Copies of this chain bind each other. A is one copy, B any other.
């Protein structure tokens, strides 16, 4: 298991993740995302064509920073790699994320979604 109890607490909390990816010209990109996990796999949900999705299709290396809302000086820092992009289950997944972050099903009619699956290579808590 890459994630210890503290990392899981941060991942399962209502905390935004900041997903860094690389642009075609090698410059860095970062975007806030909803996040959850399935075991040791990180899951995010997006729409094909977004910058982050195009970036990880070209270069699967990502870094994620998550700040714990209730203790904003505790961060989880994850390095990993996108291993799959799939439409399978993506609508159920965006509703699950929406219930986590908004407390209700996803309120926008936005059916063209995909799950991006990330295999973490390292996960560190930084205080």
Residues of A bordering B, CB below 8 Å: 16, 18-22, 26-32, 59, 61-65, 67, 72, 75, 77, 79
Contact = CB atoms under 8 A, between A and B. Distances in A.
B67 A16 contact: yes
A61 B16 CA distance: 24
A104 to B, nearest CB: 14
17 contacts: A16-B67, A18-B18, A19-B30, A20-B29, A20-B30, A22-B26, A27-B79, A28-B29, A28-B30, A28-B61, A28-B62, A28-B63, A30-B63, A30-B64, A31-B77, A32-B65, A32-B75
Contacts of A72: 16
A31 B79 CA distance: 12
